Amino acid sequence: MRVARLHGIGDVRLSDEPGPAAGPDEAVVRVTAVGLCGSDLHWYGQAGIGDARLERPLVVGHEFAGVTAGGQRVAVDPAVPCGQCDQCQAGNPNLCRDLRFAGHGAEDGGLQDEVAWPARCLVPLPDSLSDADGALLEPLGVAIHAVDLGHVRPGQTAGVFGCGPIGLLVLQVARAAGASRLLVSEPLPHRLEAARAWGGQPWTPGQEVDVAFECAGTEGAVQDAIAAARPGGRVVLVGIPDDDHTAFTASVARRKGLTIALSRRMKHTYPRAIRLVETGQVDVHSLVTHRFSLEQAPAAFAAAARREGLKVMVEVSPKTG
């Protein structure tokens, strides 16, 4: 089968490898759509993310959907919690102490024709959602979890600092949660325009919000989010910094008595994500601006790294010829 592996910084290569065999309680999924995420770009541009480093050629891609051998269309939950540790038992599988995650560390992800994955982590897709929609349920779940941490209530003001795909989804989920005013900050004009289309108004220094979401992974975005949060407000840090460090002016945050939460992936969000898309409260379809085949994976990564458009989607179709 065809596999796209990351061998080093900016080095994505296509190869033919044996297909996977399903282990106990696993199913083989024919992959159909893979979204490239900002964390994939960390692997691509830095050969690592946070304190994890590329130790062998890795198949990245954790936003993906496909079809089981039985013909069931599914979204693939890339996180496989152990189910036994204290955090899993407490209902926090995203904080599992022994978590496996597709496209991270030693666990290959979705940029290949087929994947063997635990059946319990496959989410059936309704006919109303396309395969690309199914792949985007994962970043939508990240956005839902971030908004949950923000405790957004009807009538509040929310700010989104960084309007890449995650930020744009946070914007939509905050609106669905009842935020009456949405302020946004984004340096790229095409992303700022997308945020405007979903109700975001440009933020300017001096404006305050009840809840601020930092979705860029940059120190500037963190500082802006801290500055925008009203006294007693909440700040949710969603972005992943390139250098694995987050900094802000402590006196500003302290004097405001801010609550600062760090968002770790998602938990128990797939049913809600599906309902939000099915009911039209969140539009994931319009996020996809670039589509590539698996053979074009190197070009797909290059386009995503240039921050072209919004979401880059790799569409994996059966090999012909």
> DSSP code of 58?
B
* 3-43 confidence digits (pLDDT tens): 999 999 999 999 999 999 999 999 999 999 999 999 999 99
Separation of alpha carbons 166 and 237, rounded Å:
12
Separation of alpha carbons 288 and 149, rounded Å:
26
Kindly report the pTM of this predicted structure.
Answer: 0.96
Q: 294: buried, middle or exposed (CB in 10 Å: 19+, 13-18, 0-12)?
A: buried
pLDDT reported for residue 256: 98
Which amino acid appears at position 105 of this protein?
Answer: G
Give the CA distances from residue 294 to residues 63, 115, 306, in Å, rounded to whole numbers and listed in that order.
14, 14, 19
How are the residues of the chain apportioned to helix, strand and coil, as percentages rounded to the nearest 5?
30, 30, 40
pLDDT reported for residue 319: 56
At which residue do the structure tokens 């995203």 appear?
94
123 touches 277 (CB < 8 A): no
User: What 3 state SS string does 134-163 have?
Assistant: HHCHHHHHHHHHHHHHHCCCCCCEEEEECC
Strand, coil or helix: 249: coil
Indicate whether 321 pLDDT > 70. no
Closest CA to 37 of 264, 293, 240, 285: 240
Span 263-283, mean pLDDT? 97
- How is residue 178 written in tokens? 């009842």
9 touches 294 (CB < 8 A): no
Q: How far out from the chain centre does Cα 232 lie? A: 28
Tell me what the pLDDT averaged over the chain comes to: 96
Strand, coil or helix: 289: strand
284 touches 194 (CB < 8 A): no
Residue extents of the structural domains in the chain: 2-136+284-315, 140-262
Separation of alpha carbons 228 and 230, rounded Å:
6
* 109-120 confidence digits (pLDDT tens): 999 999 999 999
| Percent of the chain's residues with pLDDT above 90 | 98
At which residue do the structure tokens 């300017």 appear?
204
The sign of the torsion formed by the CA atoms of 282, 216, 249, 196 equals negative
Fold of 140-262: Rossmann fold (3.40.50)
- Tell me the Cα Rg of the chain: 19
* 121-148 confidence digits (pLDDT tens): 999 999 999 999 999 999 999 999 999 9
- How is residue 321 written in tokens? 């010829």
pLDDT reported for residue 317: 78
Separation of alpha carbons 230 and 210, rounded Å:
6
> DSSP code of 107?
B
Instruction: Assign domain 2-136+284-315 one CATH number from 3.40.50.720, 3.90.180.10, 3.40.50.300, 3.40.50.880.
Output: 3.90.180.10
